[in-house]
Structure 1
Amino acid sequence: MHTYNDTFPDVVDAVVIGSGPAGSTAAIHLAEAGRSVLFLERRTLPRFHIGESQLTYSAELLRQMGLYDEVAAQGYPVKTGAEFITASGEFRRTDFSDQGAGRQASTFQVERGHFDGFLARKARDRGAHLIENALVRDLLLDDDGRVNGVRYEVDGQSRTVRAGWVLDAGGRASKTAQHFRTRQEISWLRNVAVYRHYRGLDERNNPACTGDIQIGGHEDGWVWAIPIWPDTISIGAVMPSSVLRAGNSPTEVLEQHLERVPRIRQRVTATIPDPRTQVETDYCYYSDVLSGPGWIMAGDAGSFIDPIFSGGAFLAMVTGREAARTVDAALDEPYRQEELRQAYSDLYKTGYDSYTRLISAYYESEYKLGKYLQEQGFAVEGDRWFAQMLSGDFWSDLNPLTEWLRAQRRWDTFSSFEIVRECPVYPELDAAERAAWSATA
């Protein structure tokens, strides 16, 4: 494994920008492949972040990375299902064990600052050279326009590093998205979120299942409830920006929306909210161009989609891993880089496209997704395919729900791409199920 003699190396195989789930996962895989990695984070760890609820496919990724047991030992709440509440107060629960044998039936709800810090430390432990408070100022390009490094600032000093590849997992602050102007908005998902943490949680007040995420819809938006520690819960409200502007303050709007979902209001009985209410704007976007000569984006650097079904951190981790694999292969076989970049782009777009369609169906249903899908002829209660999609099955064409969502042209975002139909998380299980399906077809 590569070791550094200098605090600030000036030449590496790869620069990874951003220590969220995408960047840390990428740095872990590149370091384990024996690559020299400069891992740059613009803030001090741990840093606050939203997106606390994880998918069960995330748990499988952690197992494959050899980190599942360590994450389980952190004391995070265990998530085994999701409850969806309508404006009328009706509710239904999806149990992740409905996926069937062979797949993880549970995952974790996490405090993202803590979880992201954990992953970043694991990347450092496995050989990535982590530098905090390192703000990337510019991409470096050679005479042919290929990205071959970055200029960054740390401790008031400007430094440069040359790299075979720059892997950008910088999220909304993505330097490559800014430089190459890749970002486009999703016109029908123009929402904002207000949120804060509530302390002193007592799950005996929870009318639902301990550890579950709750999603409560009402006529002006929806509310999430995600326990992130045994005594702490994240509460957020998502709405059109006009609804937030019409309120007196983000805190007042959040409390008003919380009152509109009694089952969640009951859950936070006697809790103490954090003083600060946070706001996320400029909500959803995507990028048609995800890589170029010497650079590649992963996770939120390329796309950010509404968090209603908790897919953000999972998609960040899986694209972080696949971006790292792409870079590793391109370093060995530079003559294949265009082919490798295209394959990565197709996998990335397939995952984010499927997830966007699921979310779009939720909004079109006016927060009554189960009833809406039943009207389209799909089962929901105890259904394997519905549970699998909520767990992270955004690729396999064995899932009839996925195929129906893909056929709805009104939800198209990315320009034409080749759909990747094999699951990158459970490839062997996916292949076995495909073979069994073919044998009985």
Structure 2
Amino acid sequence: MTQRNESHEAPDATYDAIVIGAGPAGATAAMVLADAGRSVLLLERRGLPRFHIGESQLTYTAEILRQLGLYEDALRQGYPIKTGAEFIFPNGDYRRTDFADQGPLRQPTTFQVERAHFDEFLARHAARRGAELVENAMVHELLFDDDGRLTGVRYEHQKRSHVARAPWVIDAGGRASKIAHHFDTRREISWLRNIAVFRHYTGLDESNNPGHEGDIQIAGHRDGWLWAIPIWPDTISIGAVMPKSVLTGAPSRDAVLDEHLSRAPRILQRLRGTTPASETRVESDYCYYSDMVTGAGWLMAGDAGTFIDPIFSGGTFLAITTGREAARTVDRMLAEPERAGELQQRYAGLYKTGYDSYTRLISAYYESEYRLGAYLIERGFSVDRDRWFARVLSGDFWSDLNPLNTWLRGQRRWDTFAEFEPLHTCPIYPELDAAERAGSPVHDPATV
């Protein structure tokens, strides 16, 4: 047994909550807890900013930023504004979804972001609002009491070992999640085993864009699909998603990205005059889920529990949403500890309902062979200027009023989580959801 050097051991510290990971889920959780007057330690294993993919955002993301009091500041950052999504089919045809089709009182636009910048933006706000942010803090050990309850963490910072204790720990550590690895919670999604190759380009001139400025483009082809996401007015992220076997058989990651790009003339037209601004990166170990997302003394949020293919831009939104709801749950459990079991069960239902719905939407896209609109039309749905379709693409992953959600949930071949109690109240627009559920008309005051 290795003996610790006590001279390098800092005194123990106690908080109301500890949050592991300062990505969108963790930063949001820490911010919400600090706003509630709770003492919260936010530990980030790397220094900020740090690279991440997942640049395109949903309109529901913009709305939750507004609810968190961050929207106006985000607007001032200069991120490109996204008003819709263009889907390019393998035969070269395309269809666009306009997010304004969701209906009145729903946020019709959102941002495209450079994640290193955006993630730091969220983490710095959490610190300004009272969270204790510690960067380059590597969590080495989870601490449990004799009953198996998680009571804190041991982490290293500036070559000193620190112990922090709290009644509740939120693990938002993404793929590096300590809790997921400790309890071996992760399971593969066998039909979503892909890999992504991507890089950034500068010199973007959106006058070359054959579609709408700021849109994400998603182009399907025989070996996978491509994304094109403007992350600054002069910078665009380009990525190719494919089965691992396709990359294995390619001469290089650069070659496979360039060859796949040659299959999407509309994206190539948009790239005229640009030059690569980053190395070509690879993201693997793509999709997983966890049946256990809460336990004695802990909750997981965002990618710590589940990560799903980024085709419809839901990752950051689900991270921020589950981060906020995990924090709200902890705040309530601190106030009413006797309700902990009930509140954790509700949180698990919300977490799983959101990720389950998103997984099914992604699965439908792959099963459609990258022609989701035609696939849904064949099954009796409308997709052109249809509010339900626009809402699903905007983040409506909870409502049971949406007939597309109902159909997706009925497709048992896409089941992942073990049976759970779903939560069908939209966490972003609960009032609008309740009004529609009651049959009340929803009008935009500016139009009446």
Mark yes or no: TM-score above 0.5: yes
Aligned equivalents of 1:255 and 1:40: distance in 2?
Answer: 38
Aligned length: 432
Match 1:360 to one of 359, 363, 387: 363
SS in 2 for 1:47: coil
The structural deviation recorded for 1:164 is 1.1
Query: Could you tell me which residue of structure 2 aligns to residue 410 of structure 1?
Result: 413
| 1:65-114 superposed Cα distances (whole Å, 9 cap, x missing partner) | 11100000000000000000011100000000000001000000000000
The structural deviation recorded for 1:249 is 1.0
- How do residues 104-119 of structure 1 correspond to structure 2 at under 5 angstroms? 104-119=107-122
- Are 2:151 and 1:141 equivalent residues in the alignment? no
- How do residues 2-17 of structure 1 correspond to structure 2 at under 5 angstroms? 10-17=13-20
Retained in 1: the 8 A contact 2:59–2:107? yes
Aligned equivalents of 1:102 and 1:419: distance in 2?
Answer: 26
Q: Report % sequence identity.
A: 69
The structural deviation recorded for 1:270 is 1.4
SS in 2 for 1:137: strand
| 1:172-207 superposed Cα distances (whole Å, 9 cap, x missing partner) | 000000001100000000000011100110111100
| Partner amino acid, structure 2, of 1:47 | R
Aligned equivalents of 2:168 and 2:248: distance in 1?
Answer: 43
Query: Could you tell me which residue of structure 2 aligns to residue 171 of structure 1?
Result: 174
Query: Could you tell me which residue of structure 1 aligns to residue 395 of structure 2?
Result: 392
- Are 2:295 and 1:285 equivalent residues in the alignment? no
Instruction: Name structure 2 gaps, 5 residues minimum.
Output: 1-9, 442-448
Match 1:187 to one of 185, 190, 208: 190
Query: Could you tell me which residue of structure 1 aligns to residue 253 of structure 2?
Result: 250
SS in 2 for 1:436: coil
SS in 1 for 2:282: strand
| Partner amino acid, structure 2, of 1:11 | T
Aligned equivalents of 2:328 and 2:183: distance in 1?
Answer: 23
Retained in 1: the 8 A contact 2:201–2:278? no
- Are 2:425 and 1:430 equivalent residues in the alignment? no
Quickly say closer, same or farther: Cα 1:272–1:60, change in 2 above 3 A. Answer: same
Match 2:339 to one of 336, 340, 343: 336
| Partner amino acid, structure 2, of 1:65 | L
> Which consecutive segments of 4 or more residues in structure 1 shift more than 6 A?
none
Aligned equivalents of 1:255 and 1:41: distance in 2?
Answer: 35
Aligned equivalents of 2:149 and 2:382: distance in 1?
Answer: 50
Aligned equivalents of 2:417 and 2:84: distance in 1?
Answer: 30
The structural deviation recorded for 1:31 is 0.3
| 1:328-348 superposed Cα distances (whole Å, 9 cap, x missing partner) | 111111111111110000000
Q: Give the TM-score normalised by the residue count of structure 2.
A: 0.95
Query: Could you tell me which residue of structure 2 aligns to residue 121 of structure 1?
Result: 124
| Partner amino acid, structure 2, of 1:382 | R
Q: Give the TM-score normalised by the residue count of structure 1.
A: 0.97
| Partner amino acid, structure 2, of 1:202 | D
Query: Could you tell me which residue of structure 1 aligns to residue 6 of structure 2?
Result: none
Quickly say closer, same or farther: Cα 1:315–1:275, change in 2 above 3 A. Answer: closer
Aligned equivalents of 2:315 and 2:85: distance in 1?
Answer: 16
The structural deviation recorded for 1:227 is 0.2
SS in 1 for 2:16: strand
Instruction: Name structure 1 gaps, 5 residues minimum.
Output: 1-6
| Partner amino acid, structure 2, of 1:378 | F
Aligned equivalents of 1:37 and 1:329: distance in 2?
Answer: 15
Aligned equivalents of 2:141 and 2:370: distance in 1?
Answer: 42
The structural deviation recorded for 1:274 is 2.3
